[in-house]
């Protein structure tokens, strides 16, 4: 309601196609579309729903701020590594939202202001660091989160685009349009800090420390982490749960939050282990002029199955515990996806016979077929070689690889490998004849020919070192 008039607050996609828009009066709209379905707006419910959605977004980062009526800020600086980078994170977020039936636009930039602008008015989804000013230059000034009155008065003097606004002298802008326009411009360009109070999820284990004096020394930060972990683990212990994900948030004196997030391979509540992992992520924290408040949240918890302590000499059961700590440490340091096991896949093609599984994936006991001799090193891309064979089905007599001539002394083959024809048409035509060859000095190679020479087939070297 605006005064006495009923105004459209929001339209769905179908109504949008019929040229209905926000701000139109309901009577006007109904005169255009007689059987229009009108539902009363419930701003309170919308805001509650936005906060619920924001809480869900904590899965992507500990720093989430709902921005009513329709936005959510997510600071992914400390957690993008858990999703293999920013692009993958955005993709995952959009896919998940779409699956829930939520139409969302996402943009990622250096500052909350420019991301807000790009999500609503821009095309670019991810703006690389330092390029925010270029990316928003051509957007309308409304993209700076200005009030409609300011936008109107700016357009009266012909300022339509962000670039125009940025090029005007600051003094006169302030006099004429007030501090808001300048502040929003500076926030979007990163010249002014913007404090975003992040959402604190209720009912999750959380430990907090406040300091009388700001803290910035890395050694002190480590001690703080240790204390937070002790506090949090007591809470976890009492609830009988362990943390699968930890969010460390430092609030700086300038009200900017710095966050680090770690994922764990199994639920933990050992303070020393957790503190060690968090300390590894301290590199992403910029303490600035000091830190006033530190909090540690276990944003994903699971029940801990108590294990009987077994001496480590007893065998695998006892050592499992140690190994999972090692996997976490390496995962935090190198990236979770870089610590893995390789499990067999039933496939004909050598490059497809392994798949990565998480390092703590339960042992399946599967193995590859025992009777197939395979090289110890398989080239990611088979290397083209020149080879001479006496007869079409015979192994080569000699081959030239990397400008060196290798005379074949003994050979075995061919072992014919077909493409997996059920996957695609291209695979149907794929046939490789593999040969194991031994050169005069005893070195063994794994070669294949992808078709008879007269049909354009060539020789390739696929691996070395034979089991």
466 Cβ neighbours under 8 A, 6+ residues apart:
373, 374, 375, 376, 436, 444, 446
Select from 9, 192, 321, 430 the one that contacts another protein (CB under 8 A): 321
Helices (H), 2-41: 13-17, 26-32
Smaller CB separation from another protein, 52 or 410 = 410
Q: What residue has token string 């002029």? A: 289
- CB 121 → another protein: shortest distance, Å? 40
| Interface with another protein in residues 331-370 (CB under 8 A) | 333-334, 338-344, 350, 353-354, 359, 363-368, 370
Smaller CB separation from another protein, 252 or 444 = 444
Q: From residue 343, how far is each of 177, 324, 330, 365, 368 by CA, in Å?
A: 64, 18, 20, 9, 9
Q: From residue 200, how far is each of 89, 177, 197 by CA, in Å?
A: 21, 35, 9
| Interface with another protein in residues 244-263 (CB under 8 A) | none
The answer to whether 410 contacts another protein (rule: CB under 8 A) is yes
- CB 77 → another protein: shortest distance, Å? 23
Smaller CB separation from another protein, 143 or 325 = 325
> For residues 63 and 196, what is the distance between their CA atoms, to the nearest angstrom?
9
Taking alpha carbons only, the member of 221, 237, 301, 246 closest to residue 270 is 237
What is the rounded (10 degree) CA torsion for 172, 174, 178, 182?
A: 130
Taking a C-beta distance cutoff of 8 angstroms, is the pair 433, 413 a contact? yes
Select from 178, 318, 414, 457 the one that contacts another protein (CB under 8 A): 318
- CB 411 → another protein: shortest distance, Å? 7
x/- mask, another protein, residues 369-408, rule CB under 8 A, reads -x-xxxxxxxxx-----------------------x-x--
- CB 365 → another protein: shortest distance, Å? 6
Smaller CB separation from another protein, 50 or 330 = 330
- Please say whether the dihedral angle defined by the alpha carbons of residues 182, 188, 192 and 195, taken in this order, is positive or negative: positive
440 Cβ neighbours under 8 A, 6+ residues apart:
406, 407, 409
- CB 351 → another protein: shortest distance, Å? 9
List residues binding another protein (CB under 8 A).
312, 315-316, 318-323, 325-327, 329-330, 333-334, 338-344, 350, 353-354, 359, 363-368, 370, 372-380, 404, 406, 409-412, 436, 438-445, 463-467
């Amino acid at each position: 309601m605006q005064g006495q008039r009923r105004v459209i607050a929001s339209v769905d996609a179908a109504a949008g196609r019929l040229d209905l828009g926000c701000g139109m009066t309901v009577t006007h709209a109904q005169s255009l579309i007689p059987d229009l379905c009108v539902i009363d707006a419930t701003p309170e419910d919308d805001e509650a729903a936005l906060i619920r959605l924001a809480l869900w977004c904590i899965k992507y980062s500990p720093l989430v701020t709902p921005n009513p009526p329709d936005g959510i800020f997510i600071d992914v600086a400390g957690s993008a590594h858990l999703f293999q980078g920013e692009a993958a994170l955005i993709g995952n977020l959009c896919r998940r939202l779409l699956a829930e039936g939520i139409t969302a636009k996402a943009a990622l930039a250096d500052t909350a202001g420019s991301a807000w602008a790009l999500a609503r008015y821009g095309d670019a989804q991810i703006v690389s660091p330092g390029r925010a000013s270029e990316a928003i230059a051509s957007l309308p000034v409304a993209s700076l989160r200005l009030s409609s009155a300011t936008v109107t008065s700016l357009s009266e003097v012909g300022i339509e685009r962000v670039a125009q606004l940025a090029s005007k002298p600051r003094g006169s802008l302030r006099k004429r349009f007030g501090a808001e326009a300048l502040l929003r411009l500076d926030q979007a360009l990163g010249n002014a800090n913007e404090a975003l109070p992040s959402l604190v999820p209720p009912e999750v284990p959380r430990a907090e420390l406040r300091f009388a004096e700001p803290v910035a020394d890395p050694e002190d930060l480590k001690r703080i982490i240790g204390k937070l972990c002790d506090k949090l683990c007591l809470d976890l212990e009492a609830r009988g749960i362990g943390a699968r994900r930890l969010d460390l948030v430092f609030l700086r004196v300038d009200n900017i939050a710095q966050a680090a997030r770690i994922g764990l391979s199994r639920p933990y509540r050992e303070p020393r282990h957790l503190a060690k992992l968090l300390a590894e992520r301290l590199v992403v924290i910029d303490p600035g002029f000091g830190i006033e408040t530190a909090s540690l949240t276990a944003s994903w918890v699971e029940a801990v199955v108590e294990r009987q302590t077994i001496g480590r000499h007893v065998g695998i059961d006892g050592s499992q515990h140690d190994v999972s700590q090692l996997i976490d440490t390496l995962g935090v340091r190198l990236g979770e996806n870089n610590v893995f096991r390789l499990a067999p896949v039933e496939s004909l093609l050598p490059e497809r016979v392994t798949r990565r599984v998480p390092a703590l994936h339960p042992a399946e006991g599967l193995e590859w077929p025992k009777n197939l001799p395979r090289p110890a090193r398989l080239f990611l891309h088979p290397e083209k070689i020149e080879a001479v064979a006496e007869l079409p089905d015979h192994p080569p007599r000699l081959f030239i690889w990397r400008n060196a001539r290798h005379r074949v002394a003994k050979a075995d083959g061919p072992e014919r490998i077909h493409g997996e024809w059920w996957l695609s048409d291209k695979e149907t035509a794929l046939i490789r004849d593999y040969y194991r060859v031994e050169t005069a000095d005893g070195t063994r190679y794994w070669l294949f020919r992808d078709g008879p020479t007269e049909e354009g087939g060539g020789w390739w070297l696929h691996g070395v070192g034979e089991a």
